[in-house]
Amino acid sequence: MPLPKLTALLPAPPPPPAIVLVPGDCFFVRRIPLAAEAEAVPQIELALEGLSPFSPAQLYWGALVSADRTSALVYAAYRKRVAADEWDRAAAVLPDFLALCGPRDSEAVTELHRDGERLAVVIRTADNPLPAAVLVRVAADPDALVAEAAARAGLVEAPPVREIVGEVFARSADDGRIELGVGETAPLVIAVGTTDLADVRDDDFLAARRRTARRDQWLWRGLQVAAALLVLAALIDLTAGALRWRAGSLSQRVQAQTPDVQRIETAQTLVSHITKLSERRLMPLEMLATINPGRPDSIQFQRTVTRGVHGLEVEARTGNAADVGAYENTLRALPEIASVETRDIRARDGQTSFVLSLEFHADAFKTAATETTDEGGAL
């Protein structure tokens, strides 16, 4: 049976808050110019003071700013005309006519949308992506409403009328964007950074709501981290138990094989000790056998003494002094000898005495020693 995913063990997050659409007939709408280099909000508030007999503090207002920041679609409603029920928990509070303000082809057109008895008219011009005029009325005459919208847009005659069919929808995207549209038309997309400006609620309320949302998000992440740590701790505990069991099993196997290991170690130690003794034993006969074949007949060995494991000192004499140097050169050419030194050369009564000091390579007689050891073991 497969284990459930970690996310399935966590409590489900609360559903995302809904988007509240306010009837558009409560709002008056204007398109105003903006100075692109200045802040948009102070310019919009100043425009509202000139457009409305009420101060911005008495209005529910919002705005859409064009991409080039040269114009804004401002909408406002007197607070006493709007029922603000269930606004506190909403993701956004927007007028419903924004669903008709999505991107369109750059042509002058009048869009007409019916929603029951409510009629909405949006006039667009080719010089600006934002609507030039928006009017929403209940039980109004379409022709009269189109003419009124054209007059508000400053046009002598309204552009060609196109009726938009479909239901108004509003949804929140996964990345926090808000999409509003009608039927199959291209929706208006409100980016995350401009949501608060489009929302008609108070700035102070929206700021407090953002702080609360950040706090809730951190609490939710903390809960996820705590649950992950608990699961990780349980996995570590299970792994530690399995390792302890495995270690106990290995310990029992080691204890069972300890006598065999001790016998093998003892044999290896004995073999190593014998090998070292065989390599370090003195080999004067092998040394003499190495240097004797090249000895001239005139040179006679008088006395030999070993110096350490690899050294040999020979006292000799000869009736021909020239053979001393020749014999030294012959010894230097032998691969077994590391160094040769002739010293204490004395001539008396036609005889020359001298001392040969030789040093053999450490592995010069290793093969011979090994063969001797093997033969001794065989015996």
pLDDT recorded at residue 94: 92
| Global model pTM greater than 0.75 | no
pLDDT recorded at residue 15: 63
Q: Is the pLDDT assigned to residue 3 strictly greater than 50? A: no
Q: Is the pLDDT assigned to residue 50 strictly greater than 70? A: yes
Mean local confidence (pLDDT), 108-127 = 91
Q: Is the pLDDT assigned to residue 121 strictly greater than 90? A: yes
What are the backbone dihedrals phi and psi of residue 174, each rounded to the nearest 5 degrees, phi first?
Answer: -65, -30
Encode pLDDT of 142-158 as tens digits.
999 999 999 998 888 98
By DSSP bridging, strand 92-95 and strand 19-22 are parallel
Rg (CA), the chain: 53
Crossing angle between the packed helical segments 366-378 and 203-280, to the nearest 10 degrees: 70
Strands (DSSP E) contained in the chain are: 19-22, 28-33, 59-65, 71-78, 92-95, 109-115, 118-124, 133-138, 161-164, 168-172, 178-182, 188-190, 299-307, 311-318, 337-348, 351-360
Encode pLDDT of 206-239 as tens digits.
777 778 777 877 887 888 888 888 899 999 989 9
Mean pLDDT score of the chain: 84
Cα distance between residue 160 and residue 130, in whole Å = 17
Encode pLDDT of 292-341 as tens digits.
888 888 888 888 888 877 788 889 989 888 888 888 888 888 888 888 98
Q: Is the pLDDT assigned to residue 268 strictly greater than 90? A: no
**What single-letter amino acid sits at 160?**
P
Architecture of the CATH domain 284-378: 2-Layer Sandwich (3.30)
Q: Is the pLDDT assigned to residue 287 strictly greater than 50? A: yes
pLDDT recorded at residue 277: 63
Q: Is the pLDDT assigned to residue 139 strictly greater than 70? A: yes
What are the boundaries of each domain within the chain? Answer: 6-201, 220-280, 284-378
pLDDT recorded at residue 370: 52
Encode pLDDT of 157-189 as tens digits.
989 999 999 999 988 877 778 899 998 888 899
For residue 5 the two structure tokens come to 């995913």
For residue 251 the two structure tokens come to 């310990």
Least confident of 26-35, 179-188, 279-288: 279-288
Write the DSSP string, 226-283: HHHHHHHHHHHHHHHHHHHHHHHHHHHHHHHHHHHHHHHHHHHHHHHHHHHHHHHS--
Least confident of 19-33, 59-73, 272-286, 356-370: 272-286
pLDDT recorded at residue 378: 38
**What single-letter amino acid sits at 351?**
Q
Q: Is the pLDDT assigned to residue 374 strictly greater than 80? A: no
Contact 36, 69 (CB under 8 A): yes
pLDDT recorded at residue 6: 53
Encode pLDDT of 87-113 as tens digits.
888 888 999 999 998 888 878 999 999
Cα distance between residue 8 and residue 342, in whole Å = 93
Contact 299, 327 (CB under 8 A): yes
pLDDT recorded at residue 311: 85
The confidence band for 124, taking pLDDT boundaries of 50, 70 and 90, is: very high
Mean local confidence (pLDDT), 249-260 = 86
- Mapping DSSP to helix (H, G, I), strand (E, B) and coil, where does residue 165 land? coil
Mean local confidence (pLDDT), 9-29 = 77
